[in-house]
Amino acid sequence: MVTLRVLTTQDWPLWREVRRASLAEAPHAFKSRLEDWDRGGEEQWRARLETPGARHLVALLEGRAVGMASGLPADGGVRELRSVWVGPQARGHGIGDRLTAAVEAWARQSGGTVLRLTVIPGNDHAIALYRRNGFADTGEFGDLLPDGVTREHVMEKALR
């Protein structure tokens, strides 16, 4: 049975565990690198969970953390979907859809009008997840990736 848990600052060890797992298992899917997160101590892990107005979720399968997603507020009614990951042992069971839907619900409840995300080109499984959940490519580009050439693609979904 899969449950979604909303994290609080006291859950920073759980968030650290699942974030490290995501960055180790799928470094190709994230702009952040494991070594970027391993430099900081407890304060760094807590800081992300203390972002005002944010929502951080972990998917638990039989009590084990197998996925994560975050929702962050941005300017002008925009909400951002970030750090979506489902571990290999839990893929194909709709957990990514549940995490995405939960962040979308948070975005709507918090007054968001648009849910936006960036995805690394070539991450076809993530792109399929986002399209399946109503996101469309905006044609905009996000940040430059560490290779110095490739840029993230921006996708979004209107909420109203």
User: In this predicted model, what pLDDT tens digit does every residue of 129-149 receive, in sequence order?
Assistant: 999 999 999 999 998 888 889
* Amino acid letter, residue 38: D
137 contacts 149 by C-beta, under 8 angstroms: no
Predicted confidence at residue 20, as pLDDT, reads 92
**Alpha carbons 2 and 31: distance in angstroms, whole number:** 27
pLDDT digits (tens, 9 = 90+) for 70-97: 999 999 999 999 999 999 999 999 999 9
Cβ atoms 54, 107 nearer than 8 A: no
pLDDT of 41 higher than 80:
no
Strand 2-6 vs strand 55-61: parallel, antiparallel, or unpaired? Answer: antiparallel
pLDDT recorded at residue 105: 98
pTM of the prediction? 0.93
Confidence of residue 39 (pLDDT cuts 50, 70, 90): low
Tracing tokens 């197998």 back to the chain, one arrives at 66
In this predicted model, what pLDDT tens digit does every residue of 7-24 receive, in sequence order?
Answer: 999 999 999 999 999 999
Whether the Cβ atoms of residue 154 and residue 142 lie closer than 8 Å to each other: yes
CA angle 28, 101, 81 (to 5 degrees): 45
